[in-house]
Structure 1
């Protein structure tokens, strides 16, 4: 297919886990360009406008964010400047250019007081500065550009970057026992599979009015951090890699600057109904991650996504 016939997808952000996954994603109908600093600064509206003008995209994905959850507690102004005001800047620039925007948000916009998967219409109530900044970003995007899709996700991990899964694999090489919190429930979401989903949304729904609004995009199923660690170690052990025994602890035994929701599982029923997309079960994705990690995460190709 000639390059000119492909949908040009501009990703705002290039160093984060998700931006890297989007840059590696392959789709016959898409041409993906990632832009980040120094070319692009979400706090600088002029840089966003000039980046859009330079790359002439058909759709924009805002994957840029302040993602250091604990650091946001001591730097709430910085988190707000990027996650809220920056998101609004991006949405405004897209509206001025006549473009739809796909904005990535988080499960941490919820309080965690629910005992069943959160749906998009559930009341929000973030309990940390990061969640508050991301919720404010959702409001900015919706107010600044009607042509928007907001995708909430959470517990992201990839074969690259800094994340829980890579930390667990490293600790398994150093320790026989790893202490892991078991009273926070969510859904570990494998970033390469999430990137494939986002790209399909960009190609099939970003320009369609009845496919706009807020959607949840995460792996299927639920578990806690200890469950996740045990799955990683079991897969690694089967493949001859490092493994450890998990000592299950409570959140009170592992205090962090930012409070985490006790339950932030996301229902993805709306995403499936609107787009026909469903990410794999988190357990299968964890197994896929371990296989890649053990081969050498820095050079191994991303496995084909089983996203349906």
Structure 2
């Protein structure tokens, strides 16, 4: 099996290139080799590689900037996945694509199910939803894995921001009225690898189409607020001096893009079909332990 992996230098892409080893021939590409903003290049690369599985973690993820760059965000998050799906159909290939909790409006106070109607309240969420819909419309075997609050020790994310600010400031004011599930990028990649392995290497397109194609929620278990996430980060971080954390409301910290207040998602469907998912606190501890081991080496 030949696997085309996009965005190999991103948080999830970096981990996927490692977790997918042994499941097929992996052609992992970075933006300079396959820029999702260039739809012609996307087509050309897929036609040249001829993969049997496309794994697409690459995306436009600057939630606030998307409000002022809606066309670019839509091209990368909405149009490019549609092109990938069209090319997958030509090849008889399958596709794994990653989406977001931000396709929901946050009005529901219990975890969202895959069957709940989407209703994004920002440009980023709308473009990610468009990507989902384009893949579904292509008539290919697919898995759309919605995740949330992705973090790791690479790239730009909340965990790294807190660690940086903790060394620069004596007080951090953190939003405490938005609820979701912090999810380690390695949890996403490892779960994806287990899914691919269980799906006979994803080469059996008929099996996916009849039994497993669809949308699945893939997050760490449990939920917290950004304030609670920041607390847990500081509890696990080896810092000589830790700042004071002050909880604030969403209204106290206005941003260009609206955020859903409640975006926790139920992962029962994925866990019943494929494998269990870790508690978010346990995953965070493992993230710090892994980093400590790497630093020792």
Name the CA distance, whole Å, in 1 between partners of 2:153 and 2:276: 21
Q: Say if 1:265 and 1:241 are closer, same or farther in 2 by CA, change over 3 A.
A: farther
Bigger Cα displacement from structure 2, 70-79 vs 285-294: 285-294
1:3 matched residue in structure 2: none
Judged with a 3 Å threshold, the aligned counterparts in structure 2 of structure 1 residues 194 and 42 are, in CA distance, closer, same or farther, namely same
1:279 aligns with 2:295: no
In the TM superposition, residue 27 of structure 1 has moved relative to its aligned partner by 4.4
Q: Deviations over 1:235-292 (max 9, x none)?
A: 12xx4655333111101111100000000001000001111x2221110111222334
- 2: CA distance, partners of 1:26 / 1:98: 21
Q: Among residues 98, 101, 110, which one is paired with 1:107 in the alignment?
A: 101
Q: Which runs of 4+ in 1 moved over 6 A?
A: none
Structure-2 separation of matches of 1:300 and 1:32: 30
Give, in angstroms, the shift of residue 202 of structure 1: 2.7
| TM-score, structure 2 as length reference | 0.91
Compared CA separation, residues 242 and 283, structure 1 to 2 (3 A): farther
Structure 1 runs not aligned, ≥5 long? 1-6, 302-308
Q: CA deviation at 1:294?
A: 5.1
* Distance change in 2, residues 1:28/1:129 (3 Å): same
Distance in structure 1 (CA, Å) of the matches to 2:95 and 2:75? 19
Specify the alignment match of 1:229 in structure 2: 230
- Per-residue deviation, 1:19: 0.9
Equivalences, count = 290
Hey, what's the Cα distance between the residues in 1 that align with 2:296 and 2:189?
17
> Aligned equivalents of 1:242 and 1:192: distance in 2?
28
Which structure exhibits the higher relative contact order, with contacts defined as CA atoms closer than 8 Å and separated by 6 or more residues?
A: 2
TM-score (norm 1): 0.88
1:17 corresponds to which residue?
Answer: 11
Equivalent residue number for residue 255 of structure 1:
254
Report the equivalent of 2:245.
246
Secondary structure, in 3 states, of the residue corresponding to 2:99?
strand
Superposed, 1:160-171 pairs within 5 Å as 160-171=154-165
The question of 1:117 aligning with 2:115 is answered: no
Identify the match of residue 136 of structure 1 among 130, 133, 142: 130
Partner of 1:60: 54
CA positional deviation for 1:300 = 7.6
RMSD (Å) for aligned C-alpha atoms: 2.0
Partner of 1:265: 264
